Amino acid sequence: MTATTLQTTLAETRAAGRAALIGYLPAGFPDVESSVRIVEAMVEGGCDVVEVGLPYSDPMMDGPTIQRAADRALAAGTTTDDVFRVVEATAATGAAAVVMSYWNPIERYGVGRFADRLAKAGGAGVITPDLIPEESQEWVEASTAAGLDRIFLVAPSSTDRRLALTTDACSGFVYAASLMGVTGTRAQVADTAETLVRRARETTAESGLPICVGLGISTAAQAAEVAAYADGVIVGAGFCQRVLDAPDLETALTAVRSFAQELAAGVRR
């Protein structure tokens, strides 16, 4: 299979001796056109990869900040087709675009149809936080046919067997959840994160598959800390919070761009 833009981007950041900065934003937050401009500001600030969230009414892994952002997107009438519009705009910036989605919306849209539409929009892959490899055969077939990366999650509670099974099923990168909990900003990165990455690397030694860490990263110092041992640093709630706090779009764009610049400086230390 030809390398995806995600694989190419992570290979380039690794060759440069640094971690990738991966930012997250729900499509349609606060509305579709504004979310496109916010993603553009994230990339201008230094994001190498953007996770475009598919807003969902029952986001079990998301904390209050991302839930509020997703609720705003749903209230604005955001649809799955709108997600593809944001993915296309993200890809146009030159950043690698992936979708973060729970499995139910993909299944309802049609698994093969979703994969095809995402590939045509320039998307590189999908992060599926609630889908496990043993139940992913339909997605494996559809994503393989469309040339998309499959990104599953591992957590501090994952057994050695589970780690090996999950990392073997991933392409693009392995998403290492730094803690047992929901998304959100925290005062410090959980000390379980580095141990989890070390354990996951034991299962990816042969493939060299990148491991990226998410959940709880919200400052440049935290980004630098995680970048010292991971291939990618994932930040979501911090971007959403700056949009939620802004009185207007222009203020939000400035805040998001500045935040991305701070994080980018952190991962490059």
Angle, helices 192-203/160-169, rounded to nearest 10 degrees: 60
Percentage of residues of the chain with pLDDT beyond 70: 95
pLDDT at 186 > cutoff 70: no
pLDDT at position 8: 98
CA–CA separation, 92 and 121 (whole Å): 10
pLDDT at 194 > cutoff 90: yes
pLDDT at 191 > cutoff 80: no
Taking the model in full, what pTM does it have? Answer: 0.94
Give the residue numbers annotated as catalytic, written as ranges: 51, 62
CA 213 to chain centroid, in Å, comes to 10
**Structure-model confidence comparison of residues 45 and 218, the more confident one:** 45
Nearest Cα residue to 106 out of 89, 123, 88 = 123
Percentage of residues of the chain with pLDDT beyond 90: 89
Angle formed at CA 124 by CA 205 and CA 215, multiple of 5 degrees: 65
pLDDT at position 184: 41
Mean pLDDT of 227-245: 97
pLDDT at 239 > cutoff 90: yes
pLDDT of 72-129, one tens digit each? 999 999 999 999 999 999 999 999 999 999 999 999 999 999 999 999 999 999 999 9
Q: Which domains does the chain have, with CATH numbers?
A: 5-268 (3.20.20.70)
**Structure-model confidence comparison of residues 192 and 113, the more confident one:** 113
Nearest Cα residue to 132 out of 180, 80, 168 = 168
Question: Following CA atoms 249, 182, 151, 9 in sequence, which dihedral angle do they give, to the nearest 10 degrees?
Answer: 40
Residue 158 neighbours by CB distance under 10 Å = 19
DSSP 8-state class, residue 157 = T
pLDDT at position 179: 59
pLDDT at position 98: 98
pLDDT at position 1: 66
pLDDT at position 190: 57
CA–CA separation, 54 and 79 (whole Å): 8
pLDDT at 187 > cutoff 50: no
Q: Per residue in 194-211, is it b (16+ CB within 10 Å) or e — as a string? A: bebbebbbebbeeeebbb
pLDDT confidence of 200, banded at 50, 70, 90? very high
Question: Following CA atoms 112, 150, 25, 131 in sequence, which dihedral angle do they give, to the nearest 10 degrees?
Answer: 80
pLDDT confidence of 269, banded at 50, 70, 90? confident
pLDDT of 151-182, one tens digit each? 999 999 999 999 999 999 999 999 999 754 44
pLDDT at position 62: 79
Listed range (7-16, 56-65, 84-93, 193-202) with the worst mean pLDDT: 56-65
pLDDT at 211 > cutoff 50: yes
Q: Residue 227 region, left (φ>0) first, then alpha (ψ -120 to 50), else beta? A: alpha
pLDDT at position 180: 41
Residue 57 neighbours by CB distance under 10 Å = 11
